């Protein structure tokens, strides 16, 4: 939504809080202490809080969400979510700080929380033609940090065999829905093994689906359970017979790299999966404001099982 639409939709802090209550609970607020759904009343002076007459406890409507433990106005949170969704390549913490004020640390935490919500959605299996490809994230090592072997092998600075972090992506050609994961080393330090690649395909794609990859040998393991087709980039082949290509997933990587180079400049390996989740959410759910608020509920307040015990 535009800046003017945002101001019209959330003119006051209470309006923003009421909107979140409706998104999270609908018509029935649930007490996180006893699980009651009746005799729950909103505080007039403290609109963030409710009181449950069943157990005589107060609770915050933001318990178990990305907004919990934050003293910042919810309007500022919503504005951060809005501009984060509007920008195709993301928003840096410095830019958010300039938009909402405050200190850099607050803006950085807000964006990390929003990214956590972006990765909190339900995953559905792809059942049409899917394309799979990998990319590598990270910059060149400084000259004084390169070992003697790296100095001799120039190819180690980019692509396969480099010290960059590999990320594998799967995209469904018809719906353009994408899923991507950071590939961490296995128990013996190997990356992009056949078992790792088979694992991500099994988690995202139905058995027997048509899977298109490049000629990396590790993908050969897909021949057993999928209709595996290959485009050989090493021979200058980019569209093989039968419309076999990986152009859609490579287009997604171009957006990720533009975010890296133009906005963030660095993505640490510790938080890399959150940046990837951000790119996937923006691709899969353009402008989905309410959905992100729902995914911001990290722990549902449902304690019925405790009552039963």
pLDDT at position 273, please? 94
Is residue 85 included in any domain, yes or no?
A: yes
CB atoms inside a 10 Å sphere around CB 146: 15
Share of the chain above pLDDT 70, in %: 89
- The domain containing residue 107 runs over which residues? 3-118+289-308
Question: What digits encode the pLDDT tens for the residues 173-213?
Answer: 999 999 999 998 888 888 888 899 999 999 999 998 999 99
Question: Do both 95 and 136 map to the same domain?
Answer: no
Query: How many CA atoms lie less than 13 Å away from 248 in the CB half-sphere?
Result: 22
Number of domains in the chain: 2
Distances 308 to 64, 132, 154, 209 between C-alpha atoms, Å:
21, 46, 64, 43
Q: Is the dihedral of CA 206, 211, 216, 220 positive or negative?
A: positive
Cβ(225)–Cβ(209) below 8 Å: no
Is residue 277 included in any domain, yes or no?
A: no
Is residue 125 included in any domain, yes or no?
A: no
Instruction: With a cut of 70, say whether residue 144 has pLDDT above it.
Output: no
92: helix, coil or strand? coil
Question: What digits encode the pLDDT tens for the residues 94-123?
Answer: 999 999 999 999 999 999 999 999 999 888
What is the C-alpha to C-alpha distance for residues 288 and 296, in angstroms, rounded to an integer? Answer: 12
Cβ(185)–Cβ(206) below 8 Å: no
Question: Do both 73 and 145 map to the same domain?
Answer: no
Question: Do both 153 and 243 map to the same domain?
Answer: yes
Question: Do both 110 and 140 map to the same domain?
Answer: no
**How does residue 34 score in pLDDT terms, banded at 50, 70 and 90?**
confident
Is residue 280 included in any domain, yes or no?
A: no
Whole-model pTM: value is 0.86
**How does residue 307 score in pLDDT terms, banded at 50, 70 and 90?**
very low
Question: Do both 47 and 104 map to the same domain?
Answer: yes
CATH number at residue 189: 3.30.420
Burial class (CB in 10 A: 0-12, 13-18, 19+), 250: middle
2: helix, coil or strand? coil
User: To the nearest whole number, what is the mean pLDDT of the chain?
Assistant: 86
Question: Do both 114 and 140 map to the same domain?
Answer: no
Is residue 249 included in any domain, yes or no?
A: yes
């Amino acid at each position: 939504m535009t800046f003017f639409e945002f101001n019209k939709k959330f003119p006051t802090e209470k309006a923003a809080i009421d909107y979140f209550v409706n998104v999270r609970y609908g018509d029935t607020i649930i007490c996180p202490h006893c699980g009651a759904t009746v005799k729950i009343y909103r505080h007039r002076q403290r609109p963030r809080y409710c009181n449950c007459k069943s157990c005589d406890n107060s609770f915050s409507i933001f318990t178990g969400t990305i907004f919990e433990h934050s003293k910042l106005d919810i309007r500022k949170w919503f504005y951060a979510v809005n501009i984060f969704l509007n920008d195709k390549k993301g928003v840096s913490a410095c830019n958010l700080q300039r938009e909402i004020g405050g200190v850099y640390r607050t803006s950085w935490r807000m964006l990390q929380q929003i990214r956590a919500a972006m990765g909190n959605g339900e995953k559905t299996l792809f059942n049409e033609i899917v394309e799979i490809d990998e990319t590598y994230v990270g910059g060149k090592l400084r000259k004084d940090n390169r070992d003697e072997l790296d100095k001799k092998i120039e190819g180690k600075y980019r692509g396969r065999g480099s010290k960059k972090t590999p990320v594998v992506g799967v995209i469904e050609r018809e719906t353009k829905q994408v899923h991507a994961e950071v590939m961490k080393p296995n128990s013996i330090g190997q990356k992009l093994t056949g078992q790792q690649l088979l694992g991500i395909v099994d988690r995202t794609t139905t058995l027997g689906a048509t899977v298109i990859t490049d000629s990396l040998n590790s993908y050969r393991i897909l021949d057993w359970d999928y209709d595996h087709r290959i485009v050989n980039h090493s021979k200058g082949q980019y569209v093989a017979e039968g419309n076999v290509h990986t152009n859609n997933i490579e287009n997604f990587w171009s957006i990720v790299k533009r975010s890296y180079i133009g906005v963030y400049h660095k993505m640490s390996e510790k938080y890399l999966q959150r940046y990837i989740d951000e790119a996937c959410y923006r691709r899969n759910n353009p402008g989905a404001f309410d959905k992100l608020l729902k995914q911001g509920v990290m722990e549902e307040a449902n304690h019925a099982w405790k009552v039963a015990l």
